[in-house]
Structure 1
Amino acid sequence: MAAMFKALADPVRIRLFSKIASHPQGEACVCDISDVGVSQPTVSHHLRKLREAGLLTSQRRGTWVYYRVAPAAPAAMARLLTDSARHAHAHAPTAPAPV
């Protein structure tokens, strides 16, 4: 899980992940998402980091690579955040009663 959140800590990666996650077809060709303000080799580097972290899957079709959000990634991140929030809430100090 730490690798997933670490990968998303980079602003370019979060933009790429968001573009793929919100793409109408559920997947995006690298040609559809490369306009994030960095060079194409840098886009490839960031996409590789997102794949290595388990956030994306990819499939080559001819000369293009298509990316999808890894099916289990959003649910796993949400579960961790929900569990962490519950844990923090359960262990939060209670405010003293007003007098």
Structure 2
Amino acid sequence: MEFEFRGEVWFWRGPAPWHFVTVPDDECDAIRELAPAVTYGWGMIPVAARIGSSEWTTSLWPKDGGYIVPVKSWVRAAEGLEVGDEARVRLVVGGASPVE
């Protein structure tokens, strides 16, 4: 299943700092229905992701009853994204094929 949405890039400063975009509630509801068929444990959901022309595979992280998309540093650099910027994100749940 494929999803497209816009979200703000935010930074988590924890012991392993990372940047994320939060998946909107409606998309989280649909992903939760697919989760049992695609998760590989700990609630992680494999996806193929795209922001702009940058494509990568990753996993959605469960957070506060929803999901967040980790955004790698090379993606942020290639797309000129900073904390607080809005990004258009495309996801293919299952992550086996590139986002087209």
Which protein has the larger Cα radius of gyration, Structure 1 or Structure 2?
A: 1
Same fold, judged at TM 0.5 (above)? no
Q: TM-score, normalised by structure 2?
A: 0.31
Higher relative contact order (CA 8 A, sep 6+): 2
What is the TM-score of this pair, normalised by structure 1? 0.31
